Amino acid sequence: MNPISRRLMFLGPLGLLAVGGGAGALLLHRMADGSFDPRGVPSVLIDKPAPKFSLAPQAGHPGFDGAALVTAGTPVLINFFASWCLPCIAEAPQLLALQKRGLQIWGVAYKDREESTARFLAQHGNPFSRIARDAEGNAALEFGVYGVPETYLIDKTGIVRWRWVGALSDNVIARALDPLLAKYA
């Protein structure tokens, strides 16, 4: 082996590292803006009609069922939440901001006591125009919810367009949700 190719061979590990480092940086960048989520598995419901379910309403609020999603006539954000969930508190300001922009947000109170839900809404604000109570977690099963909070975008024809696991952040709303809202408005 001539000396130059011998030298080049010793550069091999460094090249491998450069590729790995670049890929790592790209992944981290995409994790930060929400386009790569190591925990997420795409929902099988995407581009399919929202599942059928019927739930009792939260006292003092209008409720909804699966059929209402089709007849709503506007895009709807379905948000699974619970009073006992800390990330739900964290995303409350984002949801309120979305509501101010005129988006329909319907809440599903997941495995929660009615009075706890009421207290949660009083304390952290109510971004929801309708609230259904999923005490048994049946609707969550239909949707394939991992845990709360989890958010789905249903377009005006009742088709599921997007799912987000975990708390919504401004970054996620700007990068992922807003383009979809523009598309399906």
Partner 1 sequence: MIPELGHFALALAVALALAQSLCALLGAARADARWMASGAALAYGHTIAVGSAFAALIWSAVTDDFSVQNVVENSHSLKPLLYKITGVWGNHEGSIVLWCLMLALCGAAVAGFGRSLPSILRARVIGILGLNAAGFLLFTLLTSNPLLRVWPTPLDGRDMNPLLQDPGLAFHPPLLYAGYVGFAVPFAFAVAALIEGCVDAAWGRWVRPWALASWSLLTGGIALGSWWAYYELGWGGYWFWDPVENASLLPWLTGTALLHSAIVVEKREALKTWTVLLAIATFSLSLSGTFLVRSGILNSVHSFASDPTRGIFILVLLLAVIGGSLILFAWRAPALGSTGLFAPVSREGALVLNNIFICSIAVVVFTGTLYPLFAELVFGAKLSVGAPFFNATVLPLAAPVLLAMVVGQILPWKRAALGPALLRLWWAALIAAAVGLSVALGLRALLPALGFAGAAWLIFGSFGEIIERIRLFRIPLATSCARLKGLPLAVWAATIAHAGMGITVAGIVGMSLAREKIVAISPGEAVTLAAYDWRLDGLRDGAGSNFRERIADISVWRDGALVVRLTPARRSFTTQRMETTETSIHTTGFADLYSVLGEERDGKAILRLHYNFLAPWIWIGALIMSLGGFLSVADRRLRVGAPARRPAQSVPAA
Site for partner 1 in 41-80 (CB under 8 A): 41-42
Q: Least separation, in Å, of the C-beta of 29 and partner 1?
A: 9
Query: Which residue blocks in the chain are alpha helix, DSSP H?
Result: 3-32, 66-71, 86-100, 114-124, 138-143, 170-172, 178-184
Least separation in angstroms between residue 38's CB and partner 1 is 4
Which residue in 47, 52, 68, 58 sits closest to 138, CA to CA? 52
Give the contacts of 135 (CB within 8 A, at least 6 positions apart).
Answer: 56, 109, 111, 112
CA–CA separation, 185 vs 183, rounded Å? 6
Site for partner 1 in 2-41 (CB under 8 A): 3, 6-7, 10-11, 13-14, 17-18, 20-21, 23-28, 31-32, 36, 38-41
Nearest to 107 by CA among 70, 133, 75: 133
CB of 164 to partner 1, least distance (A): 15
Minimum distance between the CB of residue 25 and partner 1, rounded to whole angstroms?
Answer: 6
Cβ proximity to partner 1: between 7 and 183 the closer is: 7
Nearer to partner 1, 111 or 156 (CB): 111
- Written as six digits, the tokens of 8 are 């080049």
Residues of this chain, 76-105, that bind partner 1 according to CB under 8 A:
84
What distance in Å separates the CA atoms of residue 18 and residue 29, rounded to the nearest whole number? 16
Work out how close the CB of 4 gets to partner 1 at its nearest, in angstroms, rounded to a whole number.
10
User: What is the contact surface with partner 1 in residues (CB under 8 A)?
Assistant: 3, 6-7, 10-11, 13-14, 17-18, 20-21, 23-28, 31-32, 36, 38-42, 84
